[in-house]
Structure 1
Amino acid sequence: VLKVPENIDAKGAAPLLCAGITTWSPLRHWKVKKGDKVGVIGLGGLGHMGVKFAAALGAKVVMITTSPGKSEDAKKLGADEVLISKDEEQMKKHTGSFDFLLNTVPVKHDLNPYIGLLKRDATMVLVGAIEPLEEMHGGLLITKRRNVAGSVIGGIPETQEMLDFCGEHNIVSDIEMIDMQNINEAFDRVTKSDVKYRFVIDMKSLKN
Structure 2
Amino acid sequence: MNVLTYYFKSPIKMILTFLIVTSYIRSHPTVCREPSTLPTLTNDLLTQSVAILPGEEGMILRGLNSVEDSFIDITRQNISNHRNTGPQACSVQSTCQWHFVKNIDPNRKPKTIIEVQCSHSCCRRSESTCCDLNNGPGCTRCQPIYFYVHVLRRTGCDMINRRYTYENKLEKAVAGCTCVRSPNVPRPILPTMPI
- TM-score of the alignment, normalized to the shorter chain, above 0.5: no
TM-score, normalised by the number of residues in structure 2: 0.19
Q: Which has the higher helix share?
A: 1
From the CA coordinates, give the structure whose radius of gyration is larger: 2
Compare the two structures and name the one with the higher strand fraction.
2
TM-score of the two chains, using structure 1 as the length reference? 0.18
